[in-house]
């Protein structure tokens, strides 16, 4: 499988080159040359396969022969060695829990898969690679955990000061070893812009790659969730609608790729907070990035979502095709708090703010005879202050969080791209 740049001004590359490069030289995101649907028989009988078998079938064409079958199967086994349950909320609504991994966020899967791919590619090389990543919350902790101790890889994480939760900050600033956290005076979009600029800066004397969802090895494995969810509900014989809390739009983009592989998903809803660049685009037809605004669902505080260009590519840049299969709605913090209370009152279920936004997307869409699934992308403990204040409940601290909560934060403060560049060249 080869990959091309969505800016169409760089040479096509292999899977390995796309993973190591992260971003094409023309600043474009990489995209697979071909997408071949899986056999209908496989989809129709998905309940007969293990999650590991499903994940292998979904990802193998994108990796090709660059990682041997046995190695790829072992990477998958290590990547998804936890549960992905669909939990009933209402008669026609369930939530797909994606927080049962080591950092209790959906990004564990992509981070672990990418770390193991990069580890394989570096196995017999002396080259040192620096993974440079921006985070609005959960990416940093997942990447830090996934790459901790990986041979030949240094990790540098940029995060916006004061705009991630305390637990999210601890998860990305307390591990040490090959992990360094840079605390940026700004918002997530500032962090993301610095990362993109660094990739194309010829004066930086390191080999850089990204572990944001702009990297194909972080983005594509997120397809697995949608297959796992469908496997659990397909015997209800209802059409399935997914509502995905969306920030950088990598997760929902991976779901659309699963649909292109043949997964029979009726509709996708990108549920956002007040950072409504994509909902506004669907209304006006004009894509106008905006400065991001801080909300209680901070992992979605993104004003210029990188992966939306991939979604447009999946629909041949045809807004009519896009609108037929894809909706996007924006919700305020007040609406999010109300949804959290309603979910708890009606189902005795504690949803984090991001999951609550996903739930609101299903309500706005208006389910008829379909079964709606909203993604619960992080454990509510990661947003403890908000959850306990809104619901007046105490959330038990899971072992994954206990292990970092009392550790000492270690971060380097930076205020400009030049400071990032100086750090990387130091």
Asked if pLDDT for residue 140 goes beyond 80, the answer is no
pLDDT averaged over the chain?
92
User: What's the pLDDT tens digit per position in 259-289?
Assistant: 999 999 999 999 999 999 999 999 999 999 9
d(C-alpha 220, C-alpha 254), whole Å: 6
Please state the pTM of the whole predicted model.
0.90
d(C-alpha 37, C-alpha 410), whole Å: 46
User: What's the pLDDT tens digit per position in 362-382?
Assistant: 999 999 999 999 999 999 988
Find the catalytic residue in 107, 196, 231, 363.
107
User: What's the pLDDT tens digit per position in 166-204?
Assistant: 888 888 888 888 889 999 998 888 998 898 899 888 898
In the chain, DSSP finds a helix count (H) and a strand count (E) of: 19, 14
Query: Residue 174: which residues within 8 A CB-CB, separation 6 or more?
Result: 404, 407, 408, 409, 410
Asked if pLDDT for residue 125 goes beyond 80, the answer is no
pLDDT of residue 341: 97
Q: Percent of the chain beyond pLDDT 90?
A: 68
When pLDDT is averaged across residues 4-23 and rounded to a whole number, the result is 94
User: What's the pLDDT tens digit per position in 58-107?
Assistant: 999 999 999 999 999 999 999 999 999 999 999 999 999 999 998 888 98
Asked if pLDDT for residue 128 goes beyond 90, the answer is no
pLDDT of residue 331: 98
pLDDT of residue 164: 83
Torsion on CA atoms 186, 310, 133, 65, rounded to nearest 10: 180
d(C-alpha 65, C-alpha 45), whole Å: 26
pLDDT of residue 151: 79
Residue 123 backbone phi and psi in degrees, to 5: -50, -45
Asked if pLDDT for residue 235 goes beyond 80, the answer is yes
Single out the residue of 95, 124, 116, 378 nearest to residue 247, CA to CA.
Answer: 378
pLDDT of residue 249: 93
User: What's the pLDDT tens digit per position in 281-310?
Assistant: 999 999 999 888 989 998 899 889 989 999
d(C-alpha 264, C-alpha 260), whole Å: 9
pLDDT of residue 254: 97
231 a catalytic residue: no
Beta bridge partners of 265: 240
d(C-alpha 114, C-alpha 111), whole Å: 5
d(C-alpha 6, C-alpha 241), whole Å: 28
């Amino acid at each position: 499988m080869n990959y091309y740049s969505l800016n169409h001004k760089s040479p096509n590359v292999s899977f390995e080159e796309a993973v190591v490069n992260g971003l094409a030289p023309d600043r474009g995101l990489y995209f697979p040359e071909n997408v071949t649907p899986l056999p209908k028989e496989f989809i129709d009988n998905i309940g007969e396969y293990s999650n590991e078998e499903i994940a292998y079938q979904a990802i193998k064409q994108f990796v090709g022969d660059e990682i041997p079958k046995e190695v790829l199967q072992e990477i998958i086994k290590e990547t998804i060695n936890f549960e992905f349950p669909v939990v009933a909320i209402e008669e026609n609504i369930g939530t797909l829990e994606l927080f049962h991994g080591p950092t209790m966020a959906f990004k564990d899967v992509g981070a672990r898969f990418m770390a193991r791919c990069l580890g394989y590619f570096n196995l017999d090389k002396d080259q040192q690679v620096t993974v440079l990543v921006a985070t609005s919350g959960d990416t940093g902790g997942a990447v830090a955990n996934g790459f901790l101790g990986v041979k030949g890889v240094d990790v540098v994480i940029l995060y916006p000061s004061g705009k991630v939760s305390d637990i999210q900050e601890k998860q990305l600033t307390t591990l040490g070893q090959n992990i360094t956290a840079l605390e940026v005076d700004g918002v997530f979009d500032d962090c993301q812009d610095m990362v993109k600029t660094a990739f194309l800066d010829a004066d930086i004397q390191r080999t850089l790659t990204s572990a944001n969802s702009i990297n194909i090895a972080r983005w594509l494995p997120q397809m697995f969730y949608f297959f796992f969810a469908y496997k659990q509900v397909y015997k209800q014989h209802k059409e399935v609608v997914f509502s995905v809390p969306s920030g950088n739009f990598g997760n929902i983009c991976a779901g659309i790729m699963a649909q292109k592989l043949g997964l029979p998903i009726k509709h996708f809803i990108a549920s956002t907070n007040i950072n409504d660049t994509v909902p506004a685009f669907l209304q006006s037809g004009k894509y106008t990035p905006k400065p991001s605004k801080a909300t209680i669902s901070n992992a979605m505080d993104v004003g210029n979502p990188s992966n939306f260009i991939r979604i447009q590519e999946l629909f041949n840049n045809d807004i009519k095709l896009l609108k037929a299969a894809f909706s996007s709605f924006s919700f305020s913090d007040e609406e999010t708090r109300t949804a959290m209370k309603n979910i708890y009152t009606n189902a005795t279920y504690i949803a984090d703010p991001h999951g609550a936004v996903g739930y609101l997307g299903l309500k706005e869409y208006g389910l008829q005879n379909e079964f709606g699934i909203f993604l619960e992308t992080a454990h509510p403990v990661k947003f403890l202050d908000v959850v306990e204040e809104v619901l007046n409940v105490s959330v038990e601290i899971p072992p994954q969080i206990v292990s970092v909560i009392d550790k000492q934060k270690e971060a380097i403060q930076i205020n400009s791209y030049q400071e990032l560049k100086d750090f990387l060249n130091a």
